[in-house]
Structure 1
Amino acid sequence: MSKSQEIISRGMVIFSVSFYIVTALIMVFVNKWVLNSVSLPFTLLWFQVIMAVILLHFSSIFGILQLPILDKEKCIGLLPLIAINVLGLSFNTICLQYVDASFYQVARALVLPFTVLFSFMFLSQKTSYKILLACFVVCIGFFVGVSSERLSISLIGIIFGICSSISTALHAIVIKKSLTVVKGNTIELVYYNNVLSAIAFLPLIFLFREQNQYSELLQNSTRGESRTFLIGILITGFFGFLINVAGFLQIKVTSPVTHMISSAFRGVVQTILGNFIFGDLLTTGRVGGIFLILFERGDSFDNRKDVNSDERDEKA
Structure 2
Amino acid sequence: MSPPDEQPPSKATVAAVVIFYMVAAQAMIVANKWVLNTTNAPLFFLLMQLIIAVVMFAIANVLRILPERLTFDLKICKGLVSMVVLNVIGLSSSNYTLKYVDASFYQVARGLVLPFTIATSFIMLHSRPSIGILLSCATVTAGFFLGVFFDGTPLSLVGIAFGAASSFITALASVVIKQSLPVVNGSTILLAWYTNVLSSFVLLPLVLLAGEGPSVLAILSGVDVDLWTFLWGSAITGGVGFAMSIAAPLSIKTTSPITHMVSAASRGVASTFLGFWLFGDIISSGRAGSIGVILAGSIYYTWVKHKESEAVANGSYERVPMDELDIDAEIAKLEAGDRHRGDGEESPQVEESGK
Check conservation: 1:101, 1:270, Cα contact below 8 A.
Answer: yes
Q: Tell me, in whole angstroms, the C-alpha distance in 2 between the residues paired with 1:219 and 1:131.
A: 52
The aligned counterpart of 1:194 is 196
Task: Note the alpha carbon deviations across 1:160-205, whole angstroms, 9 max, x for none.
Answer: 1111111111111110110121121110101110010000101111
Counterpart pick for 2:141 among 119, 139, 142? 139
Q: Structure 1 stretch 293-302 or stretch 182-191: which is displaced more? A: 293-302
The aligned counterpart of 2:266 is 265
Measured after TM superposition, the shift of residue 289 of structure 1 is 0.6
Task: Note the alpha carbon deviations across 1:258-310, whole angstroms, 9 max, x for none.
Answer: 11111111011111111111111111110111001111122222436354464
Structure 1 residues 119-138: aligned runs within 5 Å: 119-138=121-140
Across the two proteins, how many residue pairs are aligned to each other? 309
Task: Note the alpha carbon deviations across 1:44-82, whole angstroms, 9 max, x for none.
Answer: 111111111111111111112233322222111110000
The aligned counterpart of 1:181 is 183
SS in 1 for 2:183: coil
SS in 2 for 1:174: helix
Check conservation: 1:107, 1:142, Cα contact below 8 A.
Answer: yes
SS in 1 for 2:184: coil
What is the identity percentage for the equivalent residue pairs of Structure 1 and Structure 2?
A: 43
SS in 2 for 1:177: helix
Q: Tell me, in whole angstroms, the C-alpha distance in 1 between the residues paired with 2:270 and 2:132.
A: 24
Check conservation: 1:98, 1:157, Cα contact below 8 A.
Answer: yes
Check conservation: 1:127, 1:303, Cα contact below 8 A.
Answer: no
* Higher-Rg member (1/2): 2
Measured after TM superposition, the shift of residue 224 of structure 1 is 5.6
Check conservation: 2:21, 2:251, Cα contact below 8 A.
Answer: yes
Is the aligned partner of 1:35 residue 2:36?
A: yes
SS in 2 for 1:106: helix
Measured after TM superposition, the shift of residue 312 of structure 1 is 9.0
TM-score, structure 1 length as denominator? 0.92
**Cα gap change, 1:312 to 1:127, in 2 (>3 Å):** closer
The aligned counterpart of 2:60 is 59
The aligned counterpart of 1:10 is 11
The aligned counterpart of 2:171 is 169
Check conservation: 2:151, 2:287, Cα contact below 8 A.
Answer: yes
Q: Tell me, in whole angstroms, the C-alpha distance in 1 between the residues paired with 2:270 and 2:130.
A: 27
SS in 2 for 1:201: helix
Check conservation: 1:102, 1:282, Cα contact below 8 A.
Answer: yes
Task: Note the alpha carbon deviations across 1:126-148, whole angstroms, 9 max, x for none.
Answer: 32322211100001000111001
Measured after TM superposition, the shift of residue 151 of structure 1 is 6.0
Is the aligned partner of 1:79 residue 2:81?
A: yes
Counterpart pick for 1:209 among 208, 211, 231? 211
The one-letter code matched in structure 2 to 1:127 is: P
Q: Tell me, in whole angstroms, the C-alpha distance in 2 between the residues paired with 1:33 and 1:253.
A: 31
Gaps spanning 5+ residues in structure 2: where? 1-6, 310-339
The aligned counterpart of 2:295 is 294
The aligned counterpart of 1:106 is 108
The aligned counterpart of 2:324 is none
The aligned counterpart of 1:95 is 97
The aligned counterpart of 1:70 is 72
- What's the C-alpha RMSD, in Å, of the aligned pairs? 1.9
Q: Tell me, in whole angstroms, the C-alpha distance in 2 between the residues paired with 1:17 and 1:283.
A: 30
Q: Tell me, in whole angstroms, the C-alpha distance in 2 between the residues paired with 1:285 and 1:219.
A: 42
Task: Note the alpha carbon deviations across 1:209-253, whole angstroms, 9 max, x for none.
Answer: 3233222222237x7621211111000000000011111110001
**Cα gap change, 1:307 to 1:106, in 2 (>3 Å):** farther
